[in-house]
Structure 1
Amino acid sequence: METIDNDTFASWREEGCLSIQENFHVFSQFLTQAKDFAKRGHYETAAVYGEMAAVYATLKHSGLFVSIELEQILLEISKKTIPIDHNSKITTNPLAEPQKILHVATSVQAIGGLSKMLWRWIEQDSSRSHSLVLTRQPRKEVPKILDEAIKNSGGKIYWLNETIGSVISWAKRLKEISNSADMVVLHIYNHDVIPIIAFANQAQSPPIIFLDHADHMFWLGAGISDVVVNLRESGMRLAQKRRTIQPERNILLPTILEQTRREFSRSEAKQKLGISEDTVVLLSIARSLKYKTINGISYADAHVPLLQKHQEAILIVIGSGNREDWSAAIEQTNGRIRSYPEREDTAIFYQAADIYVDSFPFISTTSLLEAGSYGVPLVSRYPYSDASEILGADMPGLTGNLIWVRELSEYTNILSRLVEDELFRLNLGEKTRHKIQNTHTGENWQSYLEKVYHLAASLPKATVALTRVEEIFLSEPDVLMPRVHGWNFDMNNVIQSHLTIMPFEQRLHNWWKLVHNNSFNNCGRFGPLKYLVPEWFLCRIR
């Protein structure tokens, strides 16, 4: 089986250059519309178009990791719509311990590393009160474990999009809530404009800490953040190089994990899953989108040579779901590739695993850490050049133990050695577990967090350049992004997904255009009609 060769990469780079320029053109259209609406005083509509620009730049890489121009538009919207209280100025004592932490998230869910990071943070930082503002929570419940963690800390959960209004009124409400906080931590989606508008007036905002959980993509927040918290070194370097983050405001905070305690031995866990004790279990856990078929080779295909060589091995993939492009590989291995949809009860699988194999081409660092915390050796594919380090798997607790491989043949060889050499994999797994535990859990992690709080309290408020020409990059890693992280959608999809937060006149105008052009997609129950209803109303009937 072939790997990704130089000719393929050359083709990707060529395609990437063209895609980036096309994507930047669409991004610029949204940006121009946001600017025009703002100039005409239509600030609500301008904010929505600003968010649509950010969504497009996030999911259709446009050669940018930050847009100072877009953030400036949002800051101007804030100045025009959120009055300055000249009698109020928040001051922070760098020697005082922050006691009230306000976390801001776009939405939370039971599955996914971002929500796990949030509730583990609150549970670990137990000496402080933690509240949470949800800016755009869909019609689903907050995970019980997060709800309980906040209540136990003496905090409260606020749902902005349940209140009558839209982006700007929600930003005002967020600003009001933040007035009683010592610090604000942003766990927001890359495109969320509400916190950007809320905290534009930095002199009257608490210190703002931005969690860079999507360091491989474009995001909003550089202009308002006093401290940017990076989960890994590659993201830290990119933030400084491509997002204009000053070195003194750039800090590392490892992803937090729960203290892992085995409920079952490896053989007991296998037995509970109906797997023979002698079977060598390879495991991978991630969302379906992270298992993309590349160059005609699916994730399942990449493991066929290994599984054909080692009849005692199986591959279990959780999150991939039922995939037609894996059927041939499953047949070739006599069903020893097992693919499951997303599920929450992953601990039993981690405990049964002998080897953990990372998702590809989209890495899953949280799953790597969770697997490693059970003493499972970790292997991740990285076929790119060093210039694209942001596409690889790196975390403070993985350094020195995670096995990186560039070639598919090398990948098969290292997995084969791990299958054959039990002592090697057990020793590597134990070293991995020890390093992760000493970096990502308990008081060890808390010491990193205290440094973050202290830095946020002691630095002067951040400033951002008022003018900067947007410069797109047509080199690595940018040119690989459309292939590795590209999403299949267009302007109409972006407009459709934002109809419910537009002012009614603009909503009706865009709704009718989509109907006329037969451009609505995946409308679900009630069809296009539901997009005429404002988001706050939809949230109230959850």
Structure 2
Amino acid sequence: MISIPDLIKTNRHYFHKLVASARGCKSPDKQAALCSQAAIFAVRNPCGIFNSWPLEETLLKLADGIASPMASQPEAESFLHVLTRAYASGGHTRVAERWINAAPASGRHDVVLLSQGDRPVPKTLEAATHGKHGKVMHLNAGLHLAKARQLRSLASNYQHIILHVHMYDILPLLAFGTPHFPRPITLYNHADHLFWTGVSIADNVVNFRSLATYINTEFRHIPAERNQLLPLPVTQPPTPLLREHRQNLKAELGLPEDSQVILTMASPYKYAAIEHIDFLATAESILTHNPRAFLIAIGPSLKNPTWQAASQRTGGRIKALGRLPYTEVDRYLTLADLALDSFPFASLTAMLDIARHKIPCLTLHTPVNSYDAFTRAGIVCATPQEVAQRALQELANPSPSTLFPIIEQESLPQGFARHVETQQKALQKTHKVYSFTTDNRSHPTEMELFIGLNHHANISGLKAKVALGIQKSIHKLLRILPLRLIPAPVYSRLESYGIL
């Protein structure tokens, strides 16, 4: 068994090596590309750090050297939402859409996608911007500095900039890492448990849970006055399916009419077992004790050998439907008698999407699974055994959802809109560039050790060596190869997949 502290220490050493390599490079474009490689590595491999001043300082110096025309005055009540990429599934893009939908009608909200590649733009995102007098735009393909120049010039037309970017995306730092850019920058902290770039440019950091504020103040060294709390948003649920339609959908899935449906929804990696924290083992225990129960999983697929084996062991009572477009998910949610959050890693947005249908929910406490509303609703279980026990009790004696009344007040459109309006009034009105203390702890937190275990559970053995080998090969290639020799379409495609 690999030592997770040793793995984290090795990763941190390699990250520092990548940053040093970038800082020693003479070509600005290549320096930016190498900084991007360092950030990508720190996000995808547990390094036991939440920030890096040497990395951000290097990018700030590059930002100071970028000359870009800027508008002298922004349009009043205008907002530019900046996304690395937008997706048809998953919670990240949904939050941006719902934020825009909930904003006061008087404002204009545009979206710019930094490296969408050939992915289609979700129609729900286009509809959200059109509903707020805005549109979805794309940056032109190019190297980091050229794209940062475009972004700075575009953003200068807006009163507020809101970042929903990927954790490793360095373009906002290059675009806004100068005091000469006057518009305030708000960073939405959608991955508070991971390393991310942007500490030095975020005038406002919007967190969706109290744990994030603690991590920011304690480890990222972002003072409390720059942190704000905004609950996760959900949309109004559609009209529930009629009983006849529910039975038709059950028949379509091969479920008996009197079956009880347990629903779970998350990205597949969030279910990878860590020691005794095993979602599928817990689900099988529930199905063993309740012959009428079936598990429907959205996200995982039966192409995965682990899920396929679990389905076979339960006689097909575990049905993994794979990834579904967000627009198709609701019809399955209305089937559920009970929802189980994914674990070891929770899927908070998915859980809230289920809970808005007034479906009872259960979640497991782990070092990374924390959401204020779940605690207040009393749905957090201490162990997988408690999850199974409470699930069986709920199926035997159904009770009203304790989570729904809370999200009705703070996450459904009307309640969330009140939070957005309050949050907008509290935003910093000017932009600064901030220095900060590097996170140089010698011992990882319990959360980081847990993330390391999850990382090892998802990528181990030969697969891990291949992934790290590819990362190191790209780094070596970038150091020796003039970037102009990489065709622009190829560079853009690699960037859109988070490789460059």
TM-score of the superposed pair, with normalisation by structure 2: 0.89
Give, in angstroms, the shift of residue 493 of structure 1: 2.9
Is 1:177 matched up with 2:154?
A: yes
1:534 aligned counterpart, secondary structure: helix
Amino acid at match of 1:188: V
**Larger CA deviation: 408-417 vs 293-302:** 293-302
Matched with 1:432 is: 403
* 1:484-526 Cα shifts (integer Å, max 9, x gaps): 2456344443366789999961586xx9xxxxxxxxxxxxxxx
Please give the alpha-carbon distance, in whole angstroms, between the structure 1 residues aligned to 2:238 and 2:169: 37
Please give the alpha-carbon distance, in whole angstroms, between the structure 2 residues aligned to 1:349 and 1:472: 46
Give, in angstroms, the shift of residue 191 of structure 1: 0.3
Which of 380, 405, 422 aligns to 1:404? It is 380
CA contact (8 A) 2:186 2:206 kept: yes
Give, in angstroms, the shift of residue 475 of structure 1: 3.2
CA contact (8 A) 1:178 1:205 kept: no
Is 1:123 matched up with 2:106?
A: no
Matched with 2:343 is: 360
Amino acid at match of 1:413: Q
Amino acid at match of 2:10: E
* 1:139-171 Cα shifts (integer Å, max 9, x gaps): 1110112113223322232211x34x2100000
1:360 aligned counterpart, secondary structure: coil
Is 1:150 matched up with 2:137?
A: no
Matched with 2:363 is: 380
Matched with 2:314 is: 333
Amino acid at match of 2:305: E
Identical positions, percent: 25
Is 1:416 matched up with 2:396?
A: no
Matched with 1:474 is: 444
Is 1:33 matched up with 2:21?
A: yes
Which of 4, 8, 13 aligns to 1:20? It is 8
Is 1:82 matched up with 2:67?
A: yes
Please give the alpha-carbon distance, in whole angstroms, between the structure 1 residues aligned to 2:442 and 2:85: 30
Amino acid at match of 1:123: N
CA contact (8 A) 1:231 1:253 kept: yes
Please give the alpha-carbon distance, in whole angstroms, between the structure 1 residues aligned to 2:72 and 2:12: 39
Matched with 2:57 is: 72
Amino acid at match of 2:99: W
Matched with 1:346 is: 329
Say how many residue pairs are matched: 482
Please give the alpha-carbon distance, in whole angstroms, between the structure 2 residues aligned to 1:104 and 1:498: 27
Matched with 2:187 is: 210
Question: 1:178-193 counterparts in 2 under 5 A?
Answer: 178-193=155-170
Amino acid at match of 2:147: W
CA contact (8 A) 2:341 2:361 kept: yes
CA contact (8 A) 2:183 2:431 kept: no
Which of 90, 101, 106 aligns to 1:112? It is 90
Matched with 1:196 is: 173
Gaps of 5+ in 1: 1-10, 92-96, 512-529
Please give the alpha-carbon distance, in whole angstroms, between the structure 1 residues aligned to 2:442 and 2:28: 27
Which of 425, 428, 431 aligns to 1:454? It is 425
**Larger CA deviation: 233-242 vs 360-369:** 233-242
CA contact (8 A) 2:51 2:439 kept: no
Please give the alpha-carbon distance, in whole angstroms, between the structure 2 residues aligned to 1:68 and 1:455: 27
Amino acid at match of 1:464: Y
Gaps of 5+ in 2: none
Is 1:140 matched up with 2:93?
A: no
2:198 aligned counterpart, secondary structure: coil
Amino acid at match of 2:108: S
Supply the RMSD in Å over aligned alpha carbons: 2.9
Which of 206, 221, 241 aligns to 1:264? It is 241
Give, in angstroms, the shift of residue 309 of structure 1: 1.1
Please give the alpha-carbon distance, in whole angstroms, between the structure 1 residues aligned to 2:480 and 2:422: 43
Is 1:63 matched up with 2:48?
A: yes
How has the CA–CA distance of structure 1 residues 500 and 321 changed in structure 2, closer, same or farther, with 3 Å as cutoff?
farther
